[in-house]
Structures are given as C-alpha cells and as structure tokens.
C-alpha cells in the first residue's frame, strides 16, 4: 500500500470568520465544495495510513510471537542441557571413584612397578641366547646364569600377581564404560547448548526486528492522527459553511415571503380602491376587473 509520508498543506482549505459572515452564497457554495473534496482526500489518506499502521502492528505481533517461540525452545533446550550436565557430572564422579579403585588395586598388586611379562620374557630369551652363543669365562657365565634366574623369578612373580588381579580388568572396563557414557552426555550438553544459543540469538534478533517495526508503526500512527485531524478540521469547517448556507436560504426565503406579503397587501389595497370607485359608479376597464378577480373581490 503506497502511503504519502507528508501532508501537502498547500492543498488545505482555510476558512475565516470573515469569509463565513461576509462571502456571498455563491462563494460559500464553492468553498464548501473545496472543503468537502479536501476532507475526502484527507480521510482517504488517513485510512491508508491506518491500514499501513495496522499491517505494521500485525507484523510486530508476528515478530514478538516468533521471539517467544525461540524463547520457549531455548528454555526447553537449556533444561535438557542441565539434565545432561547433572547426569554427566554424576557419571564422571562414579568413573573417578572406579578409577581410584583401579589405582588402589594396582598399587596393592604393585602392577605399576617393574616390567611387564612380555618385556621380562624377552630379556630372559636374550640372556639365554647369549649364554648359548658366546664364549664366556666361568665367572662371567655364572653371573649370566644368575641374571637369567633373577629374570625368571621376576617373570613368575609378575605372572602370579596378574593372575591374582582377575577383578581388575572388569573394574577397568566398568570405569571406562561409565566414562564413555559421561562423554556421551557431555556431547549432548555441547550440542544442545549450541542449539539453545542459536534460538537465543534468533530470539534477540526477532525482538530487535519487532522493536524496529513497532517504531515504524508508531510513526505511521502519528501520520494517521495528523491526516485524521486535518480531515476533521476540514469537515468541521464544511459543516460550518453548510450551516451558514442554510441560514442564508432561510434569510432568502424570509425575504421572499416578506416581498410576497407586501405585494399581496399592495394588491389588496389597490383592489379596495378600485372597488370603491366601482361602488361610486365609475366604469372599470378590463385591467381593473382582473385585479378585482385576483383579490377575490369580484
């Protein structure tokens, strides 16, 4: 809808008290026509502005509703974020407890100290190969044999300790499973928080757009009031001129009636004079007879 931004006041029609009291009927009729036409133009302008204002107000409400939808969705997501956070923290706490138990069990079994079975087995094999392939003095060979026996004892002790830790592997598996579940909840926290932030940003943008449109609607309402007040002023002046024209019509009718009454009185007086002459024996001509007939005296 095309809406004129400003009113061209040069097209407005002015009415002064002097015009209302002194102008002729013809001038007042022309002035009334101008006031009526300008009033109609201004009413049309006011109607267009009211329509545009209503459109903008409707758009404002749409944007506010849109912002509210984003707010509600954001709040729902934030609730889910909080739920996943609580579950994540709960699971992380449980995982920490389980890993602490694992560390305690390892410490009790001394599994964190010394070398692993594979490494010990490799060392034994390497020493035995050296014993079999190298030419050694009796002293060197004795020392080598002692090393081999020592490594074999370490291997046996290590193997026995691992066999006693049957529950450790299950405990590690449980701890890692709980930690993995906590990680899944953390991923949900991150994903939902990002989505909630998107809705928050969209809400802020919708509210900003609503404010901008509301400002435009307020401006258009001011323009509507401007046009409507100008139309009302022209209508009031039009009514004043119409009232003055009716007064002039009454004055003219009064003057015409007065003239008719005066003419009738003059005719009756003249007829009375003619009738008196007739009674006195004077001969009347045709014109005199017609005057008597008009007044009903003959």
* Interval 119-178: pLDDT, tens: 878 888 888 888 888 887 888 888 888 888 888 887 787 777 666 666 777 888 899 999
pLDDT at residue 231 in the model = 97
Give the pLDDT band of residue 2 (cuts 50, 70, 90). Answer: very low
Averaged over 44-73, what is the pLDDT?
97
Q: What are phi and psi of 121, to 5 degrees?
A: -65, -40
Is 0.95 surpassed by the pTM of this model?
Answer: no
Averaged over 83-95, what is the pLDDT?
96
Question: Which tokens in the block code for residue 127?
Answer: 């020493």
Alpha-carbon distance 277 to 217, whole Å? 89
Q: Average per-residue pLDDT in the chain?
A: 88
Contacts of 102 (CB under 8 A, 6+ apart): 168, 171, 172, 175
202 against 151, higher pLDDT: 202
Closest CA to 233 of 19, 23, 39: 39
| Opening angle at CA 211, ends 205 and 212, nearest 5 | 90
Alpha-carbon distance 25 to 226, whole Å? 31
Q: DSSP character for 3?
A: -
pLDDT at residue 71 in the model = 97
Averaged over 247-266, what is the pLDDT?
89
Question: Which tokens in the block code for residue 254?
Answer: 């009064």
Q: pLDDT at residue 3 above 60?
A: no
18 against 170, higher pLDDT: 18
Burial zone of 202 (CB within 10 Å; 0-12 exposed, 13-18 middle, 19+ buried): middle
Its sign, for the CA torsion 238, 240, 246, 248, is: negative
């Amino acid at each position: 809808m095309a809406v004129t931004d400003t009113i061209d006041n040069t097209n407005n029609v002015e009415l002064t008290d002097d015009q209302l009291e002194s102008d002729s009927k013809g001038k007042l009729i022309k002035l009334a026509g101008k006031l009526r036409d300008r009033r109609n133009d201004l009413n049309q302008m006011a109607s267009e502005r009211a329509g545009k204002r209503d459109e903008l107000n409707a758009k404002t409400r749409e944007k506010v509703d849109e912002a509210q939808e984003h707010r509600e969705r954001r709040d729902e997501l934030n609730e889910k974020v909080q739920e996943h956070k609580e579950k994540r923290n709960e699971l992380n706490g449980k995982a920490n407890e389980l890993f602490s138990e694992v560390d305690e069990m390892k410490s009790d079994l001394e599994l964190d100290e010394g070398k692993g079975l594979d490494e010990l087995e490799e060392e034994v094999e390497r020493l035995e190969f050296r014993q079999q392939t190298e030419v050694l003095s009796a002293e060197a060979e004795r020392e080598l044999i002692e090393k081999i026996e020592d490594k074999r004892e370490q291997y046996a002790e290590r193997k026995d300790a691992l066999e006693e830790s049957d529950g450790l592997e299950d405990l590690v598996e449980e701890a890692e499973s709980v930690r993995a579940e906590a990680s899944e909840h953390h991923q949900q926290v991150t994903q939902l928080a990002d989505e909630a932030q998107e809705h928050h940003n969209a809400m802020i943008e919708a509210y900003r757009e609503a404010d901008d449109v509301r400002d435009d609607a307020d401006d258009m309402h001011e323009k509507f009031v401007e046009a409507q007040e100008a139309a009302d002023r022209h209508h009031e002046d039009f009514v004043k001129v119409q009232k003055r024209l009716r007064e002039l019509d009454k004055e003219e009718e009064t003057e015409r009636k007065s003239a008719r009454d005066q003419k009738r009185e003059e005719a009756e007086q003249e007829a009375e004079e003619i009738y008196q002459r007739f009674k006195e024996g004077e001969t009347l001509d045709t014109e005199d007879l017609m005057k008597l007939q008009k007044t009903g005296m003959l």
